[in-house]
Structure 1
Amino acid sequence: MERNNKESTLLEAVQLGDRPRIAQLLKQNTDVEVTDHMGRTPLMIAVQQNNTDIVAQLLVAGSDPNHRDLTELTPFICAGANGFTASLKLMAAAGADVKSVNRFGGTALLPAAEKGYLHTVQACLAIGVPVDHVNHLGWSALLEAVILGDGGRLYADVVQTLHDAGASVHLQDLDGKSAVYYADEQKQERVLGILTETLEDPQHPAVLEAKSLAAQNNWSAASQTVQTALESDGDNLDLLFYAGFYLAAQDRFEEALAQYSHALVVAPDALEFHFYTAYCYRLMNQSENALQEFEKGAALSSENSFYLYHKSNYLRELGRHEEAVEVMDELVARNPERYDFWFHKANSLRSLGRHEEAVKAIECAIELQPDNPLYAKHKAQSEQLISKK
């Protein structure tokens, strides 16, 4: 749409986080649904920047949480995919369609589970996002949490949350494999115990008490409970993880990082703490530090693709698609049978305008999973873009 100066200025003001200027423009009845060259409204930009105050400001002015940009992404689903729980809740209260899906057929819950955003998973379930929705890849949130997780402390809690919400452990993907199958194949023992209800919970009593407090959003008390236990058991990895996790929930990031750092001193092979450290840096908007932690984890766990995959995910979030393609090249070289890796590579190539290469990548996914209509659709879209070009 053609924009006047006020509307262009609103997009710029949101990009800059200038709340007084935004308020001034909104008083002048500026169109809150104005879009930029990517089809993003001011609300989408505010969500992507995790600026909850501006998200609230725009919602009060009537911004639509269900507006789709040129990639068919809505602000609501974007919040779920990025773990921005506060914005997600605000948009749900403002009338977001909690059952809406992105172009991959996934609700807000699926990427939240995939990336280990426990608080966002809990919020999605609380506002009514369906627990067993299946996307075009044939995966539910539970399948994504197992297939794309590492079975560590955080992902075990994500799986437990989904299981408690009634997620089907028997639901099978397009290859006929269930979450139980993948947990067993990937030797995720704790996750397997949760799914088969055979887990004898060995967690520290302080962790169980802290979880109960956290369920009431009493993060301070949860954090203090774990900190007190650490005074007499300072090298306990469970306690160190939850100490960091609950500190991060209160935006006490430097303290959280100290707990994760100590855990890696105690147990250098506890590689999952590199993921927690990266997660913390991400919340601090320190992208280079976050990427370095993903790289450390990848270098130390060369036998699996967990860290490389999540590094590529983060690069896509940052819009750094050239680098994401480089990581995906390494992933498909390691795992040429992973159709989802080829699919993600194709999407980054398309974002870069490299449509011929995108078609070749999506053809690899089609060869591996020929009955999936999602791949044929994306190939056709890329071919259409080539013809326009």
Structure 2
Amino acid sequence: MPLRNLMLTACLLAGAASAQVAPSTAQMAQYKGLHAAAQRGDLAKTEKLIAQKADLNARDEQGRTPLHVATFARQVPVIRALAQAGADLSLLENDRYDAVTIAAVADDKATLAALLAAGASAKLTTSRYDGTALIAAAHLGHDGVVRQLIAAGAPLDHVNNLHWTAVIESIVLGDGGPRHQRTLRALIDAGANLQLTDRHGNTPLQLARSRGYAEMVAMLEKAGR
């Protein structure tokens, strides 16, 4: 891969990793009310505050709601309680992540399943890249999460502001290894459009060939694209 492309990929990976910010220890220490209960997984306190009409969608300094905090902390019972009480499952925090994308990036299949079962959408446009939870999961090679999102109706062919789809990100931001291969396989089997190109007109097949990802090349060639 040309040096310029390697540098670009490294920058994008670093940016993606730093964009989603979990509550810091200092922030957690300052939490009160539903944010504190969500972080600790204190279901009894959560239910008491809900009964007292606490603001289900209150924001911390990063724009995180109690639902976002519970998702970062993997507190599934609290997530269910907040959802059942009417918390808005579609809200984005300051870096434009929703709870579904937070769970997807964390490769947290159990929390993601709880969110989807509660009615959260896998179709939202999220992040500074105008992407989706599916694109984020494909980028990271979270193949199990990718399959969950596909089953939940995530848009297969959404193009983010880098002009990349989930298929393209599984190649250009992946390592060509088993998890990214399984991710690409899931997208192919689901019927993702393999003709969509990056902004330079490169197809997924061309991108896989340029990186020497033989297994991905074979998959794309077999798919007839």
* TM-score range for the pair, normalised by the shorter chain length: 0.7 to 0.9
Structure number with higher relative contact order (C-alpha < 8 Å, ≥ 6 residues apart): 2
Q: Secondary structure at the match of 1:33?
A: coil
Distance, in Å, in 1 between the alignment partners of 2:202 and 2:52 is 56
Higher helix share: 1
Which residue of the partner structure matches residue 312 of structure 1?
Answer: none
Aligned-partner residue type, residue 68 of structure 2: M
Distance, in Å, in 1 between the alignment partners of 2:147 and 2:86 is 26
Unaligned 5+ runs, structure 1? 1-6, 200-389
Cα shift at 1:30: 1.5
Distance, in Å, in 2 between the alignment partners of 1:108 and 1:16 is 25
Distance, in Å, in 2 between the alignment partners of 1:70 and 1:169 is 33
Distance, in Å, in 2 between the alignment partners of 1:36 and 1:184 is 45
Q: Deviations over 1:222-277 (max 9, x none)?
A: xxxxxxxxxxxxxxxxxxxxxxxxxxxxxxxxxxxxxxxxxxxxxxxxxxxxxxxx
Aligned-partner residue type, residue 90 of structure 1: A
Q: Which moved more, 1:127-136 or 1:83-92?
A: 83-92
* Candidates 84, 106, 112, aligned match of 2:131: 106
Which residue of the partner structure matches residue 119 of structure 1?
Answer: 144
Which residue of the partner structure matches residue 13 of structure 1?
Answer: 37
Which residue of the partner structure matches residue 76 of structure 1?
Answer: 100
Distance, in Å, in 2 between the alignment partners of 1:83 and 1:62 is 25
Q: 1:191 to 1:54 in 2, by over 3 A?
A: same
Matched, 1:63 2:87: yes
Cα shift at 1:27: 2.3
Aligned-partner residue type, residue 130 of structure 2: G
Contact 2:184 / 2:216 at 8 angstroms: preserved in 1? Answer: yes
- 1:134-145 matched pairs, under 5 angstroms: 134-145=159-170
Unaligned 5+ runs, structure 2? 1-30
Distance, in Å, in 2 between the alignment partners of 1:125 and 1:167 is 10
Aligned-partner residue type, residue 191 of structure 2: G
- 1:141-180 matched pairs, under 5 angstroms: 141-180=166-205
User: How much identity, in percent, do the aligned residues show?
Assistant: 32
Distance, in Å, in 2 between the alignment partners of 1:81 and 1:106 is 12
TM-score, structure 1 length as denominator?
0.47
Ranges of 4+ aligned residues in structure 1 off by more than 3 Å: none
Distance, in Å, in 2 between the alignment partners of 1:31 and 1:188 is 50
Matched, 1:43 2:67: yes
Q: 1:198 to 1:105 in 2, by over 3 A?
A: closer
Cα shift at 1:148: 1.1
Q: Deviations over 1:60-96 (max 9, x none)?
A: 1211110122222221222222222233333333333
Distance, in Å, in 2 between the alignment partners of 1:153 and 1:135 is 24
Matched, 1:96 2:86: no
Contact 1:33 / 1:63 at 8 angstroms: preserved in 2? Answer: yes
Cα shift at 1:198: 7.6
Cα shift at 1:54: 1.9
TM-score, structure 2 length as denominator?
0.80
Q: Which moved more, 1:85-94 or 1:15-24?
A: 85-94
Contact 1:47 / 1:79 at 8 angstroms: preserved in 2? Answer: yes
Cα shift at 1:22: 1.6
- What's the C-alpha RMSD, in Å, of the aligned pairs? 1.9
- 1:207-356 matched pairs, under 5 angstroms: none
Contact 1:85 / 1:120 at 8 angstroms: preserved in 2? Answer: yes
Aligned-partner residue type, residue 190 of structure 1: E
Contact 2:197 / 2:204 at 8 angstroms: preserved in 1? Answer: yes
* Candidates 129, 133, 153, aligned match of 2:158: 133
Q: 1:190 to 1:15 in 2, by over 3 A?
A: same
Aligned-partner residue type, residue 196 of structure 2: L
Contact 1:77 / 1:101 at 8 angstroms: preserved in 2? Answer: no
Q: Secondary structure at the match of 2:86?
A: coil
Cα shift at 1:190: 0.7
